[in-house]
Amino acid sequence: MSFLRASSPHAHSALTTARVMQWVLLATLPGLAALTVFFGIGSLINIALACIFALLFEAAVLKLRKRNALIYLRDCSALVTAVLLGLALPPYCPWWVVMLGVFFAIVVAKHLFGGLGYNPFNPAMVGYVALLISFPVEMTQWAAPSTLSNASASFPPIVESLTHVFSHDTLDGYTAATPLEVLKLREGLTLDTLYTNEAIFNQARWAGVGWEWVNIGFLIGGIFLLYKRVFTWHAPVAMLATLTLCSFLFYDAGGSQSAGSPLFHLLSGGTMLGAFFILTDPVSSAVSNKGRLIFGGLAGVIIFVIRVWGIYPDAIAFAVLLMNFAAPFIDYYTVPRTYGHNRAHRVTKIKE
Amino acid sequence: MRKIWDIHGGVHPPENKIQSNQKPIGVMPLPDWVSLPLNQHVGAPARPLVKVGDHVKTAQLIADAEGFVSAPVHASLSGKVVAIENRPIPHASGMQAPCIVIESDGEDTWTELQPCENYMDLQAEILLEKVRSAGIAGLGGAGFPTAVKLQPDANKKIDTLILNGTECEPYITADDVLMREQANDIIAGAQLMAKLLDNPRILIGVEDNKPEAIKALTDAAQNTAIEIISFPTKYPSGGEKQLIQILTGKEVKSGTLPSEIGIVLQNVGTAVAAFQAIKDGIPLIERVTTVVGRSLQIQRNVHVRLGTPIQHLLSQHGFDENNCARIIIGGPMMGYTVDSISVPVIKTTNCVLVPSEDEMPTPPPTQPCIRCGHCADACPANLLPQQLYWYSQAQDFEKLQAHHLMDCIECGACSYVCPSAIPLVQYYRASKGAIRQQQIDKQKSDRARLRFEAHKERVEKAEAEKEAKRAARKKAAEEARKKIDLTKSQPAEKSDTAKLDPVAAAMAKAANTKADPADEKAKIERNLESARNRLARFNHQLNDARNENDEARAGKLEPKIKQTELKISELENKLAQMAKT
């Protein structure tokens, strides 16, 4: 009779990587529901396509890398990347856009750098940015919220949606400017005037029709993940805090130079998706809690700067990628104080 | 209510203590034989005092401490010493080590003990000697010789003695039941130890999942100044550094001992052992061990004689070998597996855990680290385990040291929470070993370098001296020639004396060398002595070479030794002749 020789500890908590990924997938549901209610099934189609492509690419690359595809596919990490990309893409975008995005995310950003755990950049955001730079037209056509009374039509029926996705039709009839675009292109109006005149604002409760609920949905999902301790509060809270602070400083009492109210910034664009689902990707973020505060805080500043003074209406992807670059640098300077040592130190200083 | 502090991180694994702490401590029937390793403690192995074939009595001293950090070993039953040889010992590597094996005569006749009732009147030195000679080593699991920790040090005032009744490892309840049943002995042991340490305050720390133990201790400690402190259950609160932080808020500086900050920490079981050693004169020959796991029919704590094979222990508890997945000595968080059930219970064996496969399943295949940081949140030393793992894989020892790998206490909290099931502690152990080896190698090479540099310096100095002499001689010769040239130019009659001069000088020199016999003898004796020294040195080097299996070096040394021996005999002959004349 031989007994197992194993290294301590012999006990193990029930948490697995696959379980963590499944919780993340589950947590996207409120936001996804809001997207579907206000913008139709476009996001669902995006996600379905992205998932299929992600699994195919993942399996193919694993095969090329001579890894056991079944074991690695079961960790659900490819699905998380696919779902996050699917949520970020404009609804009803053509199938080949989704495919290319997933290709950049899974093959280029993830596996070329060594696969799960080794990617310095957030794969979904690499995919998103590659698409945004390559296909600016397709990537900036957001469907109009269905509840908007003066929208030319409610969202397209299923057959028509699929036609949009699989042929190269434009979605002209159903698109509208997003609140971030409206604010950016308002040409000197005061916020009050803008909020009274624009349907997307005057029919909204806090920030912009549909978008506010999408953001609240992702916020709910994020709080669920915090409760499940999938990640710590540091990065998302720091990002939301600096974004709030910046918009407060440049609110300018809602005048013609105003950069938008704090509430507007918190509930517009991809703020909550970015804060709780993108920025918290552990692989590409800073490792210590202090590091995550800096990581998230600076990301919030970059988002605000690009939104207000940059040429792109939203900036989650750029901010996250820029901070991914900085993460190892932040790590070097934010090693926590170890028990029994007087103070924290920089690991760049190695004793001779 | 006393203020208590919190430690960073920590985990809450299922406690699994209820299986074994509901029954009173059982007593084991004596085994047929015991195997007592000479090294059951931290430090140098003990030196055997008995021979194979000797008859020994229970509690008789059979191996004595060797050096300061060491502990003696006593016979745990009476009978015949049947072997002193390498036997399996409880060790993570599965290695064998020297053990004294005693076959029981079934009588359990004890050697005469020296009890002492009025022990508190004894001098501290005598008490300490009693603790030392009883062979007591930390019973909590580390096994540091207790007397060494209790040794007073003039430079360090100990102001706090902490007894550790935390027992934060799941499954283990040996200290728990001991505190319930022998609280009075623990208090008495604590007071004894305090006396040795010049009466510091005494704190006993117990996790709040042991209410019965806390009550028993509190009752026993009435009318004393001893404080019983309970604190929230969290693994690894029972680690030495962690318990100190919880009870005092102080941190033990990295790389130092708690005594640096005036604290000594002892396990509650050790206190009982010290008390029994002094009052009843019983050396450490048995301990309380938890026997637990689903492959047993009975799970409980037992008093077990040291050296008892765990096979005997398990068979007394309805062990189903086929249902057992692994045999763990210690708890599920820090215990190690053994592959032989013939290993004995030793001074540090606080638990034998034999789980079934569904109780402790074979770990799933490791997945890549996603740097989720759960490990960093769990680490009680506030390290970044994910970074340590990264650098361990890269074998980047500099970065590992910069990230304070050496402060890792190997508690296993990081591996416990890791969703990718990475055996992190195993990586750290391997890296620590490699770093230690690297440091040893570096020391060695540093020493070799110094030796080489010193040698080079010596050679250069000798060379310089020779050069200086040569130059001086040359100068003298030149001056002499000048003189000769000068005399040549002088009138011729003087040239004869000048010619004669060197001859006269040579003769004078020869006369000088024929020194008196006493000088000669002294010179030969000196030569003889240095030749003997040389021979001793060569022999020593030869031994070293043989030990290291360095045949080439040994081959070179042998002729040298022959030569030196010849020289010695020659010199001895000369001396003998001189003595005759």
**B490-522 burial, b for 16+ CB within 10 Å, e for fewer?**
eeeeeeeeeeeeeeeeeeeeeeeeeeeeeeeee
Contact B368 A1 (CB under 8 A): no
Q: Taking a C-beta distance cutoff of 8 angstroms, is the pair A123, A97 a contact?
A: no
Contact B407 A338 (CB under 8 A): yes
Give me the residues paired with residue B156 across strands.
Answer: B153
Chain CA centroid to CA B187, Å: 29
**Which phi and psi angles does B34 have, rounded to 5°?**
-125, 150
B26-338 falls under which CATH superfamily?
Answer: NADH-ubiquinone oxidoreductase 51kDa subunit (3.40.50.11540)
Structure tokens, A74? 């079961």
Rounded distance, CA A317 to CA A233, Å? Answer: 20
* pLDDT digit string (tens) for chain B, length 581 residues: 678 999 999 999 999 999 998 999 999 999 999 999 999 888 889 999 999 999 999 999 999 998 888 999 999 999 999 999 999 999 888 889 999 999 999 889 999 988 888 888 888 888 899 999 999 998 887 888 998 888 877 677 889 999 999 999 999 999 999 999 999 999 999 999 998 888 899 999 999 999 999 999 999 999 898 999 999 999 999 999 999 999 999 999 988 889 889 999 999 999 999 999 999 999 999 999 999 999 999 999 999 999 999 999 999 999 998 899 899 999 999 999 998 888 999 999 999 999 998 899 888 888 889 888 899 999 999 999 999 999 999 999 988 998 999 999 999 999 999 999 999 999 999 999 999 999 999 999 999 999 999 999 999 999 999 999 999 999 999 998 888 888 877 665 544 555 556 666 666 666 665 557 778 888 888 888 888 898 888 888 888 888 887 778 888 888 888 888 898 888 888 888 887 76
Mean pLDDT (chain A, rounded)? 87
CB pairs under 8 A between A and B: 168
| Interface check A349 vs B, CB under 8 A | yes
Candidate from A230, A285, A350 with C-beta closest to B398: A350
Other beta carbons less than 10 A from residue A99's beta carbon: 17
Rounded distance, CA B114 to CA B130, Å? Answer: 10
DSSP secondary structure letter of residue B343: P
Per-residue pLDDT, averaged over A313-324, amounts to 92
Nearest CA in chain B to A286: B371
Contact A116 B381 (CB under 8 A): no
Q: Could you tell me which of A106, A118, A121 has the C-alpha nearest to residue A51?
A: A106
Residues belonging to chain B = 581
Contact A287 B410 (CB under 8 A): no
Q: Taking a C-beta distance cutoff of 8 angstroms, is the pair B279, B188 a contact?
A: yes
Candidate from A4, A118, A231 with C-beta closest to B362: A4
Q: Could you tell me which of B321, B362, B327, B26 has the C-alpha nearest to residue B173?
A: B26
Rounded distance, CA B52 to CA B84, Å? Answer: 7
Q: Taking a C-beta distance cutoff of 8 angstroms, is the pair A90, A42 a contact?
A: yes
Chain CA centroid to CA B494, Å: 84
Q: B490-494 contacts: CB < 8 A, separation 24 or more? A: none
A chain contacts of residue B336, beta-carbon cutoff 8 Å: 7-8
pLDDT of residue B508: 64
pLDDT of residue B492: 54
Q: Tell me which H or E stretch contains B74.
A: strand B73-74
Candidate from A15, A117, A335 with C-beta closest to B403: A335
Other beta carbons less than 10 A from residue B98's beta carbon: 17
SS3 call for A96: helix
Give me the residues paired with residue B231 across strands.
Answer: B207
DSSP secondary structure letter of residue B76: S
Contact B254 A331 (CB under 8 A): no
B chain contacts of residue A4, beta-carbon cutoff 8 Å: 325-326, 337, 362
Q: Taking a C-beta distance cutoff of 8 angstroms, is the pair B38, B98 a contact?
A: yes
Contact A6 B382 (CB under 8 A): no
Candidate from B360, B365, B373 with C-beta closest to A71: B365
Rounded distance, CA B97 to CA B91, Å? Answer: 10
> How close A128 gets to chain B, by Cα (Å)?
21
Give me the residues paired with residue B305 across strands.
Answer: B286
pLDDT of residue B290: 95
Mutate to test the interface with B, among A3, A8, A228 (most CBs of B within 10 A): A8
> How close A121 gets to chain B, by Cα (Å)?
13
Candidate from B252, B335, B416 with C-beta closest to A13: B416
Per-residue pLDDT, averaged over A304-316, amounts to 88
Contact A340 B255 (CB under 8 A): yes
Contact A8 B399 (CB under 8 A): no
Least confidently predicted of A2-6, A36-40, A111-115, A225-229? A2-6
Q: Taking a C-beta distance cutoff of 8 angstroms, is the pair B57, B107 a contact?
A: no
Helices (H), B154-237: 174-181, 183-196, 211-220
A chain contacts of residue B353, beta-carbon cutoff 8 Å: 10
Rounded distance, CA A100 to CA B121, Å? Answer: 87
Per-residue pLDDT of A45-73, as tens digits, reads 999 999 999 999 999 999 999 988 888 88
Give me the residues paired with residue B229 across strands.
Answer: B205
Candidate from B360, B383, B407 with C-beta closest to A11: B360
Q: Taking a C-beta distance cutoff of 8 angstroms, is the pair A31, A45 a contact?
A: no
Q: Could you tell me which of B185, B253, B182, B176 has the C-alpha nearest to residue B207?
A: B176
Structure tokens, B413? 């909290």
What Cα–Cα distance (Å) separates residue A87 from each residue in A39, A160, A174, B158, B352? Answer: 12, 20, 18, 63, 53
What Cα–Cα distance (Å) separates residue B184 from each residue in B163, B220, B283? Answer: 14, 5, 19
Give me the residues paired with residue B356 across strands.
Answer: B324
Per-residue pLDDT of A128-183, as tens digits, reads 999 999 998 888 888 878 766 555 455 667 777 777 777 766 666 677 778 888 88
Q: Taking a C-beta distance cutoff of 8 angstroms, is the pair A107, A57 a contact?
A: yes
A positions 144-173 inside 8 Å of B (CB): none
A positions 289-308 inside 8 Å of B (CB): 289
Residue B228 C-beta-side C-alpha neighbours within 13 Å? 24
* Peptide bond just before B236 cis, omega within 30 deg: yes
Candidate from A116, A339, A345 with C-beta closest to B370: A116
Contact A339 B335 (CB under 8 A): no
Instruction: Kindly state the greatest CA–CA separation across chain B.
Output: 124
B chain contacts of residue A337, beta-carbon cutoff 8 Å: 382
Rounded distance, CA B277 to CA B271, Å? Answer: 10
Nearest CA in chain A to B416: A12
Nearest CA in chain A to B256: A340
Rounded distance, CA A273 to CA A222, Å? Answer: 8
Nearest CA in chain A to B425: A8
The burial class, CB within 10 Å (0-12 / 13-18 / 19+), for A309 is exposed
Q: Which residues contact B72 (CB under 8 A, 6 or more apart)?
A: B46, B61, B63, B64, B65, B132, B133, B134, B135, B283
Nearest CA in chain A to B320: A1
Contact A331 B401 (CB under 8 A): no
Q: Taking a C-beta distance cutoff of 8 angstroms, is the pair A211, A181 a contact?
A: no
Three-class HEC string of B283-305: CCCEEEEEEECCCCCCCEEEEEE
Asked whether the predicted pLDDT for residue A92 surpasses 50, the reply is yes
Residue type, B154: A
Count the helices and strands in chain B (H runs, E runs): 16, 17
Work out whether the CA dihedral A172, A174, A180, A182 comes out positive or negative.
Answer: positive
Q: E strands, B105-174, where?
A: 160-164
Q: Which residues contact A241 (CB under 8 A, 6 or more apart)?
A: A297, A300
End-to-end CA distance of chain A: 50
* Percentage of chain A exceeding pLDDT 90: 48
Rounded distance, CA B444 to CA B440, Å? Answer: 6
Contact A349 B402 (CB under 8 A): yes
| Interface check A14 vs B, CB under 8 A | no
Contact B401 A350 (CB under 8 A): yes
Other beta carbons less than 10 A from residue B326's beta carbon: 24
B chain contacts of residue A283, beta-carbon cutoff 8 Å: 370-371
Beta strands at B351-353 and B286-292: parallel, antiparallel or unpaired: parallel
A positions 73-92 inside 8 Å of B (CB): 75, 77
B chain contacts of residue A116, beta-carbon cutoff 8 Å: 367-368, 370
Work out whether the CA dihedral B181, B140, A340, B6 comes out positive or negative.
Answer: negative
Mutate to test the interface with A, among B323, B329, B334, B384 (most CBs of A within 10 A): B384
pLDDT of residue B141: 77
Nearest CA in chain A to B401: A350
A positions 105-134 inside 8 Å of B (CB): 115-118
Structure tokens, B489? 């130019």
> How close A96 gets to chain B, by Cα (Å)?
29
